[in-house]
Amino acid sequence: MFFAEIEYIKKRTTSEYLILTDENFGILKERDVKLAEYIISSHKADGFPGRIYYYTAKIITSHVLRIVEIMNKIGEFGISFQTLNKNVIKEIHRTNVSWEKFLTSISWAYKHNIITSTEMIFGFPGETVETYLTGIEQLMQSGVSRIYSYNLRLFNGIDLATGKNRAHYGYITKFRSMERTYGTYDNTVISETEEVVVGSNSFIYKDYSRIRLLGLFLEILRGRGYFTEFMDFLKLSNVPGEKLLRFLLDYDFSKHPAIWQVLTDYLTRADNELFDTPEQCENFIRERIKSALPIPEVKLNLIFVGKIMLIPQNRHSLFSILKEFVLKHNLENTIQEFFADYLDNVLEKQVVSFNNELSEIPCKTRFNLKAIKYHTGKSLQDFYSPTHRHFKLALHQDTVDFIAGKHGCDFLSDDILQDIYMSISRFGLLRIIQEP
């Protein structure tokens, strides 16, 4: 039955994504393992799904781990928390996986070279900027590969959306368009909206905007794989990498005008996407379509990660700010040299900018890129040597295919930026290390 459903979807969809709505995948043991095997065999045979989103059972069993290994090529080992605030957890009647089990799972995945991820949601009853940021910092210390931050949305039928709870928690909400959910049918423009919590008894709209900016910084640092090694190096050098988000939130970006303008544009877009009523939002879409104007893309974090990481001037400004963070916490010249060399001569060459990319580029560096690739280093000395080594950095096949399919496109346009980070963010954003 379930195999037939996969085939039904495969024959009719134009998307490469498959989302499993079962929030406890693996709980049915061998049945779920067989389903995972069927999905990955479909991927190998027909390319569908190219990417899968799923949540495993909270009790992480041997069957869950088998599923994670089977689908490693197209998915992540996702363990969702939503909040780490004990009072909030109690208030919303949520049960999270135990922290000890979470750390054990993260360690297991690291040894098996499996990408792990978790998510947090801002806006639950009693959550504040401080408690939310503290939870994010705890996750950053855990070693989980990727952390995603979302805003609380209210849907009909959920407990938090009842009139009683809206009043009790003092919820203030606004409405925004959902991702590409609009069209013209029988000469009628149809669009969908979502309701976002932007204020409550425990936070105000200014806090909402601050968390939006935090979400962008988190997406850059821990959401797309750009700075995985950088964050690991911070830990090895006893620099508190979990404090980097606070550093960026409080940083005076006016010292770097180009990136400051990008962040200003981001906050303006985040504000302008909100409407007081769903009707206002729907009318906005309707008028844009009637006037043959483009509909703004809505995944702002992905778009603005691209505007920072794919534009050299902005990327170099960010690298400079990261060096300031390291200097603030470690004054040793050797540490400063280590991070400057990594950012300027390794990561800079690895970042794919989608601008006349060569399939391979040479890299001469004192870094042991083999140790980075295979996670074999235990100290900074294991990654750095007094002599230079020669490597090649090559485009991932996902990147090659994506660029070929977008020939002639503007890779800095909002729609293409969103597609880049939706399609190839697992492996394709950084060049692959090839040994000589």
**How many whole angstroms separate alpha carbon 146 and alpha carbon 5?**
30
Q: Which residue has the tokens 């090529």?
A: 73
pLDDT of residue 141: 95
Residue pair 58/82 in contact by the 8 Å Cβ criterion: no
pLDDT of residue 57: 83
Mean pLDDT of the chain: 93
Q: How far apart are the first and last CA of the chain?
A: 49
pLDDT of residue 381: 85
Q: What is the mean pLDDT of residues 414-425?
A: 91
Nearest one of 391, 393, 343, 385 to 367, comparing CA atoms? 385
Cα 191 to Cα 1, 174, 180, 184, 188, distances in angstroms: 33, 16, 9, 9, 10
CA atoms within 13 A on the CB side of 426: 18
Does the pLDDT value for residue 336 go beyond 90?
Answer: yes
Residue 202: pLDDT band (50, 70, 90) is very high
pLDDT digits (tens, 9 = 90+) for 106-147: 999 988 989 999 999 999 999 999 999 999 999 999 999 999
Does the pLDDT value for residue 62 go beyond 80?
Answer: yes
Residue 248: pLDDT band (50, 70, 90) is very high
DSSP-assigned states of every residue in 158-222: SGGGSHHHHHHHT-EEEEEEEEEEEEEETTEEEEEEEEEEEEBTTB-HHHHHHHHHHHHHHIIII
Work out whether the CA dihedral 371, 372, 378, 380 comes out positive or negative.
Answer: positive
DSSP category for residue 388: E
Q: What percent of the chain has pLDDT over 70?
A: 99
Does the pLDDT value for residue 436 go beyond 70?
Answer: no
Does the pLDDT value for residue 1 go beyond 70?
Answer: no
Pull the structure tokens for residue 302.
Answer: 């992905």
What SS3 state is found at 256? coil
Pull the structure tokens for residue 231.
Answer: 């964050």
Q: What is the chain's length?
A: 436
Q: What is the mean pLDDT of residues 374-402?
A: 87
Q: What is the mean pLDDT of residues 175-185?
A: 92
Does the pLDDT value for residue 387 go beyond 90?
Answer: no
pLDDT of residue 369: 79
Residue pair 112/69 in contact by the 8 Å Cβ criterion: yes
